[in-house]
Every structure is written in C-alpha cells, then in structure tokens.
Amino acid sequence: MPDLPPLSLYIHIPWCVQKCPYCDFNSHALKGEVPHIEYVQHLLRDLENDLPLTHGREVRTIFIGGGTPSLLSSEAMQMLMDGVRARLPLAADAEVTMEANPGTVEADRFSAYQRAGINRISIGVQSFSPQKLERLGRIHGPDEAKRAAQLAEGLHLRSFNLDLMHGLPDQSLEEALSDLKQAIALNPPHLSWYQLTIEPNTLFGSRPPTLPDDDALWDIFEQGDRLLTAAGYQQYETSAYAKPGYRCEHNLNYWRFGDYLGIGCGAHGKLTQPDGRIVRTVKTRHPRGFMQGRYQEKQYEVADAEKPFEYFMNRFRLLEAAPRDEFSRYTGLSEQTIRPQMDAAITAGYVAESATHWQITDKGKLFLNSLLELFLAEE
C-alpha cells in the first residue's frame, strides 16, 4: 500500500467582473450580483459529498482561486472558512491563500478576510503598463496594483504573491523588465512570473495578437531571471520565484504529486485511497448547474499505465531533486516499471540520477515536453 500523500483543498469561485481575452480558466462575467451565501452553502455540500474520499486526513493548505475570489463578501468568506473548519481537520499552521484582483481590493474587506483565516494573498497584477493592462482586458490600473500590494504588506500576512506576465502583445525587453523592476520594488515574498500563452477557446485564441518571437522571449527570461536572483528571489518552479522560506506550500503539494480536494465550479481533485487507487474528481463547470445541486461531473480512477506520466509531469516542473523512493510511495508502482524510460531520459541528458534522487537538468528543463513524452502510456 502506498503512503497517503499530504492533502490540500482547492475552492473555486467562478465569477469575474469581466472576462479577460487570454483567460481559459473557468470564469464567468458577472450578470447581476454574486449569490454569496447561496454559493457558499453549495460549496459546503459539495465538500461533504467528497469527505469519504479523504479518510479523515488533515488538510495542510487551502487555495481559494477563480474567477475573482475577492468578489466574495467578507460574511460569505467567514461562513466558508467556518464551514470548512467544521468539516475537515485543518493543520494548525495551514497556509490559506486567496486570489485577488487589484480592482476589487478594499482595505476593510481584506482585514475581514484575514479574520476569517486567510493568511496569504495572491494579487493578479499582470503588468504595470496602462496600455498593456487595457490590452489584457484588466479592470485595474498600475496604481491600484501598487496599492493592493502595499495593503497586503501592511496586513502582516504570512505571505503575499504578485502574479506578473511577460511576453505580452508587442512587448519589448525594456517594457518586460520595467514591469519586473516595479514588482520587485513592492518587495513581495513570492512572485509568479509567467509567459503569456495563447489558449484555444479564448478571445486571443480566435484573434491572436502579435507576441514577441522566441529570441525576444529568451532575452526577457534570461535578463528577468538575473534581476530576480539579484533581488534575493530563488526560482523553485517553472514560473515561480520566492524569497527563502516563502515558497507556496499549496503549489508545492501539487508539483510533488500530493492529494487535493477540489470543490466548486469546474474544480479538479486527486485523492489517493488507502488501497492505493488514485481517484480523480471533476466538478460541474457552469454555476447554473452547480447551484442546482449537480456538483460532480465525473469521477474516475487513474490507470496504472497513466501514473508515471502524471507523476513526472508534476514532479519535473519543480527544480528540486525528486526522491526516488517517492515514486513508488505515491504511485504504488515499482521503479522497475519506468526503468527503461528513465534510462532513456538519463542517456538523453534530461535527468541526472543519484542513489537516492532524480534531478532534472538544464537540458531537461529546456526540452521538458520531450522528457515527459518518454513516460506517456503506450496506446
């Protein structure tokens, strides 16, 4: 029987003031008021239905994502957090993150969220350029972004994060680095710095803007990475940087192939059972169906043949070395099942192996898709 990995909880709030043209997350532009209390009641019922899959395990981290969770009233947030604590054992030092849009950040409401138990805020800044923000369909300006960061710092939370994008439409190297310098000046303990990608089923997908070419993107990444390192940030995941001691525990649990309950519209869950089965859950995407009590869209078991790819797809996003014994503990498979693929990855120079660990190399990071393809189940 495998060890049960650490357990996290993800809660999805599906509404936004307006839909951004690059966003392929499950978010819906508001028509009228957010049904605050009613939605929280459905979230808690959804949670109750999934409790048998958790076997009384303690929750180490919570992440409230969206959409725009900061549209939720402070009363609804208090009710949600009280409801979660009443139903699940929560670790005493649990990290509880909430995503926020700078355009919906209000000082009074933030301190009320903090009283409800939120101890980490992730602020979706994306850029400090008014023109780029407008192009991205954001409802805030640079001043609101800076005010939100200063507010988060003044609350003396456990931590806060700024989300920043690069590779924006028609973005020059200077513009990208200017955004980064302004973010660093706000001194967030954690920075998510990721490249804009054009996703299908988005406005940008149907009318793609002109993005910087690969050479320009590489220059942005290389010089940005140097700026971040010089400012005391350490890269620990493909697009995540943190000051020492401030890595996002919730995301680390995802990348280490930990377990997570997913509640709310479109949320995904992964739950290892005591008999070694890995159960995945997917919730109803649209608020209308979800709020009629139809919470679960599907639930299925991960086949043994799929487990190596799923494990390494997560594990190799992290720059830290992966303990070799963890593969067997979290998948229930012996290392022998992946020996030929791992040998091929080592021969190709994608992975370095020691007696106890696997470490993705610089080449492996550069050719991550080729590395992961080695572990795909054969059709």
pLDDT tens digits, one per residue of 27-64: 777 777 788 999 999 999 999 999 999 999 999 999 99
**Nearest one of 123, 127, 254 to 190, comparing CA atoms:** 123
- Alpha-carbon distance of 24 to 200, in angstroms, equals 8
Mean predicted lDDT score pLDDT of the chain: 93
Asked if 29 and 203 touch (Cβ cutoff 8 Å), the reply is no
The pLDDT-based confidence of 104 (bands split at 50, 70, 90) is low
What's the mean pLDDT in 106-121? Answer: 88
Range with the poorest average pLDDT among 7-16, 137-146, 284-293, 333-342:
137-146
Cβ atoms within 10 Å, residue 166:
23
Asked if 78 and 109 touch (Cβ cutoff 8 Å), the reply is no
**What is the tally of helices (H) and strands (E) in the chain?**
15, 17
- Alpha-carbon distance of 64 to 86, in angstroms, equals 17
Asked if 281 and 262 touch (Cβ cutoff 8 Å), the reply is yes
What's the mean pLDDT in 93-102? Answer: 94
In the prediction, which pLDDT does 344 show? 98
In the prediction, which pLDDT does 1 show? 43
- Alpha-carbon distance of 229 to 236, in angstroms, equals 11
What's the whole-model pTM score? Answer: 0.94
In the chain, the percentage of residues whose pLDDT exceeds 70 is: 98
Instruction: Indicate the SS3 state at residue 333.
Output: coil
Higher pLDDT, 83 or 208: 83
Give residue-wise pLDDT tens across range 56-91.
999 999 999 998 898 899 999 999 999 999 999 999
In the prediction, which pLDDT does 105 show? 64
Q: First and final CA of the chain: distance in angstroms?
A: 27
Instruction: Indicate the SS3 state at residue 52.
Output: helix
Cβ atoms within 10 Å, residue 65:
22
255-288: string of b/e by CB count within 10 Å (b at 16+)? bbbbbbbbbbbbbebbbbbeeeebbbbebbbebe
In degrees and rounded to multiples of 5, residue 256 shows phi and psi of -90, 15
- Alpha-carbon distance of 132 to 61, in angstroms, equals 33
CATH of region 7-253, choose from 3.30.70.100, 3.30.910.10, 3.40.30.10, 3.20.20.70: 3.20.20.70
CATH 3.20.20.70 region(s) of the chain?
A: 7-253
Give residue-wise pLDDT tens across range 260-282.
999 999 999 999 999 999 999 99
Q: Which two tokens stand for residue 119?
A: 């101890």
Give residue-wise pLDDT tens across range 14-29.
988 777 877 777 777 7
Instruction: Indicate the SS3 state at residue 261.
Output: strand
Q: Which amino acid is at 188?
A: P
What's the mean pLDDT in 306-320? Answer: 95
Range with the poorest average pLDDT among 35-44, 190-199, 241-250, 276-285:
190-199
What's the mean pLDDT in 102-117? Answer: 82
What's the mean pLDDT in 232-254? Answer: 96
Cβ atoms within 10 Å, residue 74:
18
In the prediction, which pLDDT does 201 show? 81
**In the predicted model, is pLDDT for residue 378 greater than 90?**
no
**Nearest one of 75, 74, 14, 8 to 43, comparing CA atoms:** 14
Q: Which two tokens stand for residue 79?
A: 């009710």
- Alpha-carbon distance of 68 to 47, in angstroms, equals 20
Q: Which two tokens stand for residue 191?
A: 């920075």
Q: Please state, in angstroms and as integers, the Cα–Cα distance from residue 277 to each residue in 53, 113, 272, 331, following that order.
A: 11, 36, 6, 9
